[in-house]
Structure 1
Amino acid sequence: MGGGSSGSWSRLGDIRSLEEKAKQALQGGKRNVFISFATEDMDEVNLLRAHAKNENSDIEFNDHSVREPYNSDRAAYIKEKIGERIARSSVCVVYVSDSTRQSDWVKWEVQESIRQGKKVVGVHPRGKAPKITPKWVSDHGIRLVKWADLPKELK
């Protein structure tokens, strides 16, 4: 039995690097994105989802919308499941509209994404920037871009 211990740590790093390259190859270079949005913005977000389904798109969306009130009896369970979805994503895209400020869920999802070390990008459709951007967007230094600029932001 032998071998020095110094080589095993570098091999571990090599294995992790190979795992990451394999994941990217399997996804075809697409990004796994968690979308955070207020329920009132469902129609707009569905357009964003449709964009991602285009085979020429370089974005893969993974979203989990919340259908129960934030303070429901199941809030802890919902948070746990959303946290798992966020963990499987590489970036959180938060759809920012005039409705976003009132959503405790969106604020929590963004905070959870940041806590997990995920990149967070705010997006709005061209010509539809919110009248008032939520304070937590600037507090966390979240970049707010036009919908059309999102693919460049995710590279």
Structure 2
Amino acid sequence: MAPPRAFVSFEMEDKWARDFLSQHAKDKNNAIEFVDYSVKNPWDNSWKTNCKIRIGQTKGTIVLIGPTTYQSEAVLWEIAETARQGNYAFGIQINKDKTHTIPAGLGPENVIRWDFAQIVKWLNTWV
């Protein structure tokens, strides 16, 4: 079985969390692949086209939830596109001691605290 591929959606101010997640996966030697398609101008039409393709090449999207994620038009669009394609999605609260507002399109039952073992467990349910 192929390893789960996940699209990672995040606010640029939370890029550190994406970097940490990617490095943690490498350090733990997991068969997990994250797709990064960070952009500076999220509403450029070519970005949306490329983003749709990238999301379609994964099993789902991980949303890194920080202080302003719920306000990000790009993140909201990525969540909606993930749902439109029928892919899985879950969110991760990136701060251990804080709970941030969950962006529209993700229910609280689909959000976990930062726990790499739990992240891997959820990813492995993507069949």
> Which TM-score tier does this pair reach, normalised by the shorter chain?
0.7 to 0.9
1:82 alignment partner, SS class: helix
- CA distance in structure 1 between the partners assigned to 2:104 and 2:51 by the alignment: 23
- CA distance in structure 2 between the partners assigned to 1:37 and 1:128 by the alignment: 19
Q: Does 1:56 align with 2:29?
A: yes
2:52 alignment partner, SS class: helix
Between the two proteins, the alignment pairs up a number of residues equal to 122
**1:132 Cα shift?**
2.5
Moved over 4 A (4+): none
Q: Does 1:146 align with 2:100?
A: no
Q: Does 1:40 align with 2:7?
A: no
Output aligned runs, 1:1-150, within 5 Å: 21=1, 24=2, 30-54=3-27, 56-68=29-41, 70-71=42-43, 75-125=44-94, 127-138=96-107, 143-148=110-115, 149-150=118-119
Q: Which has the higher helix share?
A: 1
**1:142 Cα shift?**
5.9
Asked if the contact 1:122/1:142 (under 8 Å) is kept, the reply is: no
**1:136 Cα shift?**
3.4
**C-alpha RMSD of matched pairs (Å):** 1.9
Structure 2's unaligned 5+ residue stretches are none
Give the AA of the match of 1:56: N
The residue aligned with 1:17 is none
Asked if the contact 1:87/1:116 (under 8 Å) is kept, the reply is: yes
**What TM-score, normalized by structure 2, do the two folds share?**
0.84
Structure 1's unaligned 5+ residue stretches are 1-20, 25-29
1:137 alignment partner, SS class: coil
Q: 1:90 to 1:154 in 2, by over 3 A?
A: same
Output one character per residue of 1:86-123: Cα deviation in whole Å (capped at 9) or x when no partner. 01011110101112022100000010011001000111
Which of these two proteins has the greater Rg computed from alpha carbons?
Answer: 1
Give the AA of the match of 1:109: E
2:106 alignment partner, SS class: helix
Q: 1:33 to 1:100 in 2, by over 3 A?
A: same
Q: Identify the structure with bigger relative contact order (alpha carbons < 8 Å, sequence gap 6+).
A: 2
2:45 alignment partner, SS class: helix
- CA distance in structure 1 between the partners assigned to 2:34 and 2:100 by the alignment: 26
Q: 1:44 to 1:121 in 2, by over 3 A?
A: same
